[in-house]
Amino acid sequence: MSLKYSMWLEYQIEANWTSPVIFILYNTLKPVGASFLLLAMYYVVTGGFLGGDALYYLYIGNAFYMLLSQTLFSVGWIIHDDREHYQTLKYLYIAPMSYFLYLMGRSAMRFVLSILPLAVLIIIGIFLGVPYNVNVLLLAITFVLGWVFIVSAGLLLCGVNMLTARHGGSVGQAFAGIFYLLSGVIFPLAVLPGWAVKASLWLPSTYWFSLVRRSVLGGEVDSIMSGFTTTEAAEMLVVLSAVFFFISFSAYRLADYLARKKGMLDMTTTY
Amino acid sequence: MDAITCENLGRLFKSKKRTVEALANVTISVKKGELFGLLGPNGAGKTTLIKVFTTLLLPTSGTAHVYGYDVTKDEKKIRPIINMVSGGEYSGYGLLTVKENLWMFSQFYGIPGKEADRRITTLLNRLNIAHMEKRKLRTLSTGERQRVNIIRAFMTEPKVVFLDEPTLGLDVETARLIRIFIREWLEHDPDHTVLLTTHYMMEADELCDRIAIIHQGKIVALDTPQALKNMVTKEISLKVDVYPEIGLDWLHSLDGIIGFKSKEMGGKVRVRAVVDGEQVVGDVLAGINERGGKIQYLQKEEPTLEDVFLKLTGRGLE
Amino acid sequence: MNVMLNLRAVKGRAYPRVIGALREPSWAFWDTFLPILSMAAYVYVYKSLNAPKEFEGFVILGGVMTTYWLNVLWGMASQLYWEKETANLQLYLAAPMSKMSILAGMALGGMFATTVRGVSIILVGVFVFQVDFVITNFWLLIAIFGITLVALYGMGMLFASLFLIWGREAWHINMLLEEPVYFLSGYSFPVKALGLSLSVAASFIPFTLGLDAMRQLTFPSMAEWGLLSPYLELAILVIMGTFLVLLARYALHYMENLGKERGTLTMRWQ
């Protein structure tokens, strides 16, 4: 029940300020702007928009990154919003429902709402000549595994937010920046320094983006990630997602305990 | 010149589904030096009226003035001479200390640093929270926080203070301290004026020089507390405890009942009624007996402002 | 206008920002370190495309200016939304100071953390990515930087006025002004690449011309990517900045009155 109603609540918070048409437009413009930024960067270097593995790598990676960044952007606000804006955190917390499931529900709905702009970007990709070669089953599995990883990341972020002040608007996006840099999202991993490549191979997101490319483009163009077969990449994603979930959940529980111990569940920190 | 006036003041709130008339033809005038009370239940329009006077809301019709200045045009002249406190207020910045919050707000009124410091220290001592000046605001209790809000309003040395349910949710001691403080502030300068809204009739009775009773956006009575209570001297105020609980709808059709309210209390019901003569008392008691109720307690009381409100509107304040 | 009153109000409102940054140092991680990672990703995109080194410098400079843009959006424009939600706005509005001094105080107070972030980005650019800044006219660069900030903050005050009548709608408009503005203003690429019409349209964002001029003054070898001459861009920014500040003043007054009419000044959870 907490899952169902928290998903409903997330939808209301995200969408009931405007009509559905405006909401769809709003949800699409931001990711499209981000994609066009990268396309412009590609253009100034190469002089064109069409052709090239580098463009498809960049474009598809960024499109699917929107799922991650938009979910984490919203999740990054949940604790601060509930605690300081709506001042409902303490009431939700003491209710018999699981607060953990409440957070999961809200991030799940945000994930679902982020699929629409992704679909728009995929369609735009057709006009850019992205050579789609979709493996539907692999894509479905990738989505499910991606949801687990993204929700885990959200949980970690929520835990940290329980103990920190409300600083600015982009805590979630900033957190997503770690994955943006280290997961081979918009550039091949080989461009990174050696130590960074080693670190990236420990992130579940690296394998997730590789599976995304394989399921959408029909193959892996990253020179480092192409050293893994699809099955190996999926296995790594499953194992690392499980580990990441365990770490995130543990961190969340610790943060929860500390927040209760220090009386931070209803603190106000806006300045 | 009166400190606060309004004439035929009206305020409508329109949405797609409905229009709410929050204020309708409100006319009051508050003299300088007066503690004027606005008494009414939740949703009566008290806060809306305060917002108009404090230049936060424009009226839809009518006029309002503070110290002769029009609230719709002269806000720059009004704001330096007023201040406000709301009940249950959570303003301020939680991670600043009490003194830092107060200092910050003093700067919004252009008070030089040393002078601000002096005023804040005096008021912190006066309201018995000097020992909390270095505590972060978010660590204060509700009562302590409200004292800080009171200091915030009074440290700017306004001529007019608007207090919107200032003792809401406070313990008896803190509420009493604030009431004494308000009275002393008024006595300190004959030009100091307070407009206080409340739905606590005891507070209005105790503090106010004059009271306006507001109900559904309209002023239904305006006079001194004693004069208002005199409105019901010919009537009798009854308090009856009946056991077991019985239906009371029949009271509506009983001749001589001016107004009543009831409260269930664990198996019994307490009825408070205003009736227009001794004979009606007998009719009420007989009616209770006929319906199987037993009188556990009966008291004839001196009229209160609640009785006045009951008489004027047919319902209770709380 | 009471100058002393408004100067005190600026000081008063800047104070919580500075103190907040000192008392809650976690901003250094969330608002400085992590955003640098996202910016670094764009640098690596250029590396992967074997772009000229100067393009990496474009990203660095764009990163510096976007920190101020984000401070405008989140530290100033949307702040009136938070003040409304925490019941401070009504106290600000009932006080005699100008609303612009409150916003200026927020901006100045936030400048500390913003500047730390900006300087960090430059240091990362110079020491990690080995970007070479070749400053051809230091004072012109400072002037353009300063005027761009004035224009940006004027624009921020203009946006802030929207929060006097709107709630979440204005909040979401704020969010929308990140990536699309990055694209239109050439955050990570020379805006001239967008073509003449789009570049001219994008020039209405102060960020665009400011960034373009600063790039020309720090990467002279890439002058062909400049949109207009830095001097012309400075002149346009001066006019734009003056216009935006005056427009903001008018808009704040107009929106306040509109908010008083509609009853939205103190309405929470819109």
Report residue C160 CA to chain centroid gap.
13
Assign residue C214 a region: left if phi > 0, alpha if psi is -120 to 50, beta otherwise?
alpha
Helix (H) / strand (E) element for B67: namely none
Ranking A168-182, B51-65, B95-109, C143-157 by mean pLDDT, the lowest is A168-182
What percentage of chain C's residues is helix, strand, coil (to nearest 5)?
A: 80, 0, 20
Which ipTM score applies to this complex?
0.89
Inter-chain touch B57–C20, beta carbons under 8 Å: no
CB pairs under 8 A between B and C: 97
The reply to whether B225 and B248 lie within a common domain is no
Write out the two tokens for A112: 């679902």
Alpha-carbon distance A222 to A208, whole Å?
Answer: 13
A162 pLDDT above the threshold of 70: yes
Which residue range(s) make up the domain with B258?
234-302
Residue A261: the pLDDT is 82
In 3D, which of C170, C244, C250 has the Cα closest to residue C207? C244
The reply to whether B114 and B151 lie within a common domain is yes
Inter-chain touch C93–B96, beta carbons under 8 Å: no
Q: Which of A166, A170, A203 to mutate to probe the C interface, most C CBs <10 Å?
A: A170
Rounded to 10 degrees, the C-alpha dihedral C117/C122/C125/C131 comes to: 170
Q: Is C77 exposed, middle or buried (0-12, 13-18, 19+ CB in 10 A)?
A: buried
Inter-chain touch A269–B94, beta carbons under 8 Å: yes
- Nearest residue in chain C measured CA to CA from B161: C94
Helix (H) / strand (E) element for B5: namely strand B4-14
Is there a domain that residue B207 lies in?
A: yes
Write out the two tokens for C7: 């100067």
Residues of chain B positioned with their CB less than 8 A from the CB of A270:
93-94
Residue C42: the pLDDT is 94
Is there a domain that residue B318 lies in?
A: no
Domain boundaries, chain C: 3-262
Residues of chain C positioned with their CB less than 8 A from the CB of B112:
8
Alpha-carbon distance A79 to B111, whole Å?
Answer: 37
pLDDT in tens, A67-89: 998 888 888 788 888 888 777 78
The reply to whether B15 and B121 lie within a common domain is yes
Q: Domain ends where: B197, B212, B229?
A: B229
Residues of chain A positioned with their CB less than 8 A from the CB of C26:
164-165, 167
Helix axes C230-262, C138-162, angle to 10 degrees: 20
Q: At a CB cut-off of 8 Å and minimum separation 6, what does A62 contact?
A: A34, A35, A38, A121, A185, A186
Residues of chain A positioned with their CB less than 8 A from the CB of B96:
271
The reply to whether B281 and B179 lie within a common domain is no
Residues of chain C positioned with their CB less than 8 A from the CB of B79:
94-96
Q: Domain ends where: B198, B229, B260?
A: B229
Beta carbons of B185 and B160 less than 8 angstroms apart: no
Is there a domain that residue B314 lies in?
A: no
- Nearest residue in chain A measured CA to CA from C114: A168
pTM for this entry: 0.81
Of all residues in chain A, the percent with pLDDT exceeding 90 is 39
Cα A180–A183–A188 angle (5° rounding)? Answer: 100
Q: At a CB cut-off of 8 Å and minimum separation 6, what does A162 contact?
A: A79, A255, A256, A258, A259, A264, A265
Inter-chain touch B84–C16, beta carbons under 8 Å: no
Alpha-carbon distance B287 to B280, whole Å?
Answer: 10
Inter-chain touch B110–C15, beta carbons under 8 Å: no
Strand stretches in B199-256, DSSP E: 210-215, 218-223, 236-243
- The alpha carbon dihedral of C69, C72, C74, C78 has a sign of negative
C24, C45, C175 ranked by CB distance to A30: nearest: C175
Alpha-carbon distance B156 to B111, whole Å?
Answer: 8
Ranking A133-147, B87-101, C141-155 by mean pLDDT, the lowest is B87-101
pLDDT in tens, B117-170: 999 999 999 999 999 999 988 888 888 999 999 999 999 999 999 999 998 888
The reply to whether B183 and B60 lie within a common domain is yes
Of all residues in chain C, the percent with pLDDT exceeding 70 is 99
In 3D, which of A201, B166, B15 has the Cα closest to residue C264? B15
**Does C95 contact A at CB distance below 8 Å?**
no
Residues of chain B positioned with their CB less than 8 A from the CB of C4:
110
Inter-chain touch C23–B95, beta carbons under 8 Å: yes
Is there a domain that residue B118 lies in?
A: yes
Residue B316: the pLDDT is 65
Inter-chain touch A45–C19, beta carbons under 8 Å: no
CATH number at residue B298: 3.30.70.260
> DSSP per residue over A80-110, as a string?
HIIIIIS--HHHHHHSSS-HHHHHHHHHHHH
Inter-chain touch A30–C178, beta carbons under 8 Å: yes
Cα separations in angstroms, B114 against B117, B118, B137: 5, 6, 22
Ranking A29-38, B3-12, C22-31 by mean pLDDT, the lowest is C22-31
Write out the two tokens for B188: 């300190």
pLDDT in tens, C217-254: 999 998 899 999 999 999 999 999 999 999 999 999 99
Residues of chain B positioned with their CB less than 8 A from the CB of A267:
94, 138
Tally of domains in chain B: 2
- Counting DSSP H helices and E strands in chain B, the numbers are 10, 14
**Does C38 contact A at CB distance below 8 Å?**
yes
pLDDT in tens, B160-199: 999 999 988 888 888 899 999 999 999 999 999 999 998 7
Which parts of chain B register pLDDT below 50?
none
A94 pLDDT above the threshold of 90: no
Inter-chain touch C261–B91, beta carbons under 8 Å: no
Residue B112: the pLDDT is 92
Alpha-carbon distance B235 to B309, whole Å?
Answer: 13
Average pLDDT over residues C152-157: 92
Inter-chain touch A268–B95, beta carbons under 8 Å: yes
CATH number at residue B56: 3.40.50.300
Residue A170: the pLDDT is 64
